Amino acid sequence: MTGSVPPRAPSVPAVPAGRVRCATFNVLHGLRLLEDGRAPGTEDAAGPAPLAEAVAALDADVLALQEVDRLQPRSGGVDQAAVAAAAMGAGHWRYASALHARALPGGGWVRDPAAPGLREYGPRSRNSPDGVPSHGIALLSRLPVRAWRARRLAAAPLAVPLRSAGRPGLTAVRDQPRAVLAAVLEGPAGPFTAVAVHLSFVPGWNVGQLLAVRRWIADLPRPCLLLGDFNLVGAVPRATLNAAERVRSRLPGAAPGRRGDAWRETARTPTYPSHRPLVQFDHVLASGIGADAVAGACAPRTAISDHRPLVADLALTRCAPCTPAAPARPTTG
């Protein structure tokens, strides 16, 4: 019914035995939306409970989050990555700030020129005296993490007309810097890599960012998962990555491609807008897994965000002969 709020907890099947549940969710800073996609009053959006309930219901082992707030008044002043990690029982997590700034009511940011563009936060920094509000992405894991990486992606130098949650028509929106997080995890069958991304909404610029991420993670172990809001529809991310791999393999002196290294989509289902999904911006792509590795996938409706989460249950066994990893930066808690 128009004006009502969706169910607080999504309906998600149980994780099949022997599978790792991997998910991505653009949480829109935990904002609760009405059944028809409109935003309610601000008083309904504050506080961590809706975010925690939505995350807990996914029952994910590995979860990438986008549009995450840290210490923002609009989301109750909480560390949303820490809230989500506690809700899903993830002992290993990182939050990476894309920008240090305070969100303004109605849109826009007041940036803090003294704060660095990229900073990582984790369990040990939960009670950090750093009180600068920020916005970014998070990668959360129930599985042990061997190493972490983070990097920043520059913003596109132009504004693009976009449809925003709770606003009629189109609004000219300037791009923001983006962050990327990568982790080498200890899976049931050995190490694998998970990479959390949130790419630009500017056409073409997001493709360049995706290719930059591909080069940045080339030395990390397979299987490798790319999870996030790509702002690229349908098969475009997979096709882009595989085309780049074909070009690389034809360069003089390049090593031949390895069986199982092609990028696969673990799910093809629309995720945006959440109240009536029409397109798929959110993806869980995998390289180094077999064709039968996906046991199931879904995109359930939650009470928060204009995106639906994308959930995939995977068998993360190595697809030989995939390359071992070069070491990443060791984790420090």
pLDDT digits (tens, 9 = 90+) for 44-76: 545 899 999 999 999 999 999 999 999 999 999
| Neighbour tally for 170: CB within 10 Å | 11
Which residue type is seen at 259? R
Reference 277, options 26, 15, 20; nearest CA is: 26
Q: Where are the domains of the chain?
A: 20-158+171-314
Q: What is the reported pLDDT for 166?
A: 58
Which helix (H) or strand (E) segment is 136 a member of? strand 134-141
Supply the pLDDT for residue 324: 43
Q: Which amino acid is at 22?
A: C
Instruction: Taking residues 90-110, report their average pLDDT.
Output: 92
Look up tokens 């007041």; give the residue: 110
Q: Residue 76: which residues within 8 A CB-CB, separation 6 or more?
A: 46, 47, 48
What are the pLDDT digits (tens) for 2-60?
A: 455 565 567 788 887 779 999 999 999 999 998 888 887 654 545 899 999 999 999 99
pLDDT tens digits for range 234-245: 999 999 999 998
Q: Note the Cα 26 to chain centre separation in Å.
A: 6
Q: Quote the Cα angle for 114-118-119, to 5°.
A: 90
CA atoms of 327 and 106, how far apart (whole Å): 44
Tens of pLDDT, residues 156-204: 998 888 876 656 677 888 899 999 999 999 999 999 999 999 999 999 9
DSSP state of 284: E
Q: Report residue 251's pLDDT band, with 50, 70 and 90 as the boundaries.
A: confident
Please determine, for residue 326, whether its predicted confidence score (pLDDT) is greater than 50: no
- The shares of helix, strand and coil residues in the chain, as percent rounded to the nearest 5, are 15, 30, 50
Task: Give the fold, CATH level 3, of 20-158+171-314.
Answer: Deoxyribonuclease I; Chain A (3.60.10)
Gyration radius of the chain over CA positions:
19
pLDDT band at 124 (very low <50, low <70, confident <90, very high): confident
